[in-house]
Amino acid sequence: MRIATWNVNSIRARVDRVTDWLQRADIDVLAMQETKCNDEQFPSMPFLAAGYEVVHCGFNQWNGVAIASRVGIDDVQVGFDGQPTWSDKPEAEGTAEARALGATCNGVRVWSLYVPNGRTVDSPHYVYKLEWLAALRDSANKWLAEDPSAQIALVGDWNIAPTDEDVWDMEVFKDSTHVTPPERAAFNAILEAQFTDVVRPFTPGPGVYTYWDYTQLRFPKNRGMRIDFILGSPAFAQRVTHAEIVRDERKSGKNRIGSPSDHAPVLVELG
């Protein structure tokens, strides 16, 4: 069974590229982030034509998460218990954003997660990011307390580079989000809740990234960040036999369908 995650950076712009890769890479389950559409706008038909069921959570042109599966989709859940709310307008009441979608696919509980960016360290969105991660940790703790043998995969764009080697130049990011001690502590708290980064042992760094900005030739120069992860529960982690970051899918040009996302897919194979 092959499970992947991919921040697609607008599914309507990249649906042909995504469905083409799904079939070439023989993926059974794909979690997607940053779909940038509401549920009615999501292009389900190309996935169905390729043999995949798909569920999506999107409220507007921002955020958005989805799961496509050819091995079944059961027990769909939009958001996790205690997921914080957010509003860009201080006078408006916050709402839960389209950032978390869970489904059980062939016995594996897959959560497609698009962790808040945080914007700047002095922004209320940074506080929201930390609260969001703390609530996720609490939910993850609860899931494993209820069933220690559960196969759970927390996958997606975490918007955190957990170690210095996960960015191309720490000096560039020293005053930015994604690398601050509180964010890294929040990520590590998920690991302390018995979840494991199941991809890193197969793709050690430094210089191994999942995201490259479109500007300043960041991709050709390999000036990227490692911010997309698959974190597995103990029962899930012990099944992983292979993992990779599919860097070639960040490429554009000849023999490629459409423009690339600024993220590469990340995949694991289960035995």
- For the question of residue 114 being annotated catalytic, the response is yes
Catalytic position from the list 28, 56, 114, 197: 114
Q: Is-cis flag, bond preceding 206, omega within 30?
A: yes
- Positive or negative, the Cα torsion across 164, 175, 138, 81? negative
For residues 8 and 34, the answer to whether their CB atoms sit within 8 Å is yes
- Say how far apart CA 79 and CA 99 lie, in whole Å: 7
Q: Is 38 annotated as a binding residue?
A: no
* Degrees, nearest 5: CA angle 176-89-99: 60
Tell whether 159 is in a known binding site.
Answer: yes
Closest CA to 96 of 131, 126, 68: 131
Residue 122 designated active-site: no
Beta bridge partner(s), residue 74: 104
122 marked ligand binding residue: no
The catalytically annotated residue of 56, 126, 157, 178 is 157
Q: d(Cα 196, Cα 243) in Å, to the nearest integer?
A: 13
The reply, when asked if residue 242 is annotated as ligand binding, is no
Catalytic residue list contains 263 = yes
Q: Which position has the token pair 């897919």?
A: 265
Instruction: Determine contact, residues 137/190, Cβ cutoff 8 Å.
Output: yes
Say which of 128, 178, 228, 263 is annotated catalytic: 263
Q: Is residue 88 marked as binding?
A: no
* Distance from C-alpha of 62 to C-alpha of 64, rounded to nearest angstrom: 6
202 and 244 Cβ atoms separated by less than 8 Å: yes
Please tell me whether 131 is known to bind a ligand: no
CB distance 172 to 210 below 8 Å: no
Task: Estimate to the nearest angstrom the gap between the alpha carbon of 4 and the chain centroid.
Answer: 9
**Residues forming the active site:** 114, 157, 263
Q: Which amino acids are annotated as binding site, given as ranges? A: 7, 34, 157, 159, 262-263
- For the annotated binding site for Mg(2+), the residues are 7, 34, 157, 159, 262-263
